[in-house]
Amino acid sequence: MRTPVYAPRGVVATSQPLAAQAGLAVLREGGSAVDAAVAAAITLTVVQPGSNDIGGDLFALVWDGAQLHGYNGSGRSPAALTLERMVAGGGTPTGALGGAQGAAESAPPPRGWLPVTVPGAPAGWRDLHARFGRVPFERLFADAIGYAEHGFTAAAGLSRSWARSVRAFAEIDDPACAGWAEVFGRAPRPGEIVRNSGAARTLRLLSGTRCAAFYTGEVADALDRFAAATGGLLTGDDLAAHEGDWVAPMSADYRGHTVHELPPNGQGVAALQAFALLDGFTGTDPHRQIEAMKLGFADAHAYVADPRTPTPDLLDPSYVAARRALITEVAGEPGPGDPMRGGTVYLAAADGDGMMVSLIQSTYLGFGSYVVLPGYGFGLQNRGAGFSLDPAHPNVAAGGKRPFHTIIPGFLSRDGEPVGPFGVMGGHMQPQGHVQLISATLDDGLDPQAALARPRWYWHAGRNVTVESDFPAAAVADLRRRGHAVTVTDDPSDFGMGQAIWRLPAGGYVAGSEPRADGLAAGY
Q: Quick one: pLDDT at residue 272?
A: 97
Catalytic positions are: 344
Mean pLDDT for 75-103 is 71
Instruction: Report the run of H or E that residue 12 belongs to, with start and end.
Output: strand 11-14
Using one digit for the tens of pLDDT, what is the confidence trace for 17-40?
999 999 999 999 999 999 999 999
Radius of gyration (C-alpha) of the chain in whole angstroms: 21
Beta partners for residue 487, in sequence order:
466
Task: Compute how many other C-beta atoms are within 10 angstroms of the C-beta atom of residue 187.
Answer: 19
Mean pLDDT for 377-402 is 96
Q: Quick one: pLDDT at residue 342?
A: 54
Using one digit for the tens of pLDDT, what is the confidence trace for 214-237?
999 999 999 999 999 999 999 999
Exposed e or buried b per residue across 203-239, where buried means at least 16 C-beta atoms within 10 angstroms of its C-beta: bbbbbebbbbbbbebebbebbbebbeebebbbbbebb
Dist. CA 445–CA 439, nearest whole Å: 9
Residue 382 pLDDT exceeds 60: yes
Mean pLDDT for 255-267 is 97
Q: Quick one: pLDDT at residue 517?
A: 87
Mean pLDDT for 43-60 is 96
Query: Is the overall model pTM greater than 0.85, yes or no?
Result: yes
Q: Quick one: pLDDT at residue 92?
A: 54
Per-domain residue ranges for the chain?
5-245+344-386, 246-341+420-505
Cα torsion 160, 513, 425, 227: sign: negative
More confident residue, 89 or 522: 522
Length of the chain: 524
Residue 101 pLDDT exceeds 70: no
Using an 8 Å Cβ cutoff, are 1 and 500 in contact?
A: no
Dist. CA 514–CA 498, nearest whole Å: 5
Residue 84 pLDDT exceeds 60: yes
Using an 8 Å Cβ cutoff, are 299 and 270 in contact?
A: yes
Mean pLDDT for 197-217 is 98
Using an 8 Å Cβ cutoff, are 443 and 436 in contact?
A: no
Mean pLDDT for 63-79 is 98
Using an 8 Å Cβ cutoff, are 154 and 188 in contact?
A: yes
Using an 8 Å Cβ cutoff, are 163 and 187 in contact?
A: yes
Spatial neighbors of 113 by CB under 8 A, at least 6 apart, are 176, 227, 230, 231, 232, 233, 234, 369, 371
Least confident of 278-282, 333-337, 348-352: 333-337
Q: Does the domain at residues 246-341+420-505 carry the CATH identifier 1.10.246.130? A: yes
Using an 8 Å Cβ cutoff, are 224 and 399 in contact?
A: no
Task: Compute how many other C-beta atoms are within 10 angstroms of the C-beta atom of residue 85.
Answer: 15
Q: How confident is the model at residue 493 (pLDDT cuts 50, 70, 90)?
A: confident
Mean pLDDT for 46-52 is 95
Burial of 173 (0-12, 13-18, 19+ CB in 10 A): exposed
Task: Compute how many other C-beta atoms are within 10 angstroms of the C-beta atom of residue 470.
Answer: 12
Q: Quick one: pLDDT at residue 339?
A: 34
More confident residue, 252 or 343: 252
Residue 107 pLDDT exceeds 80: no
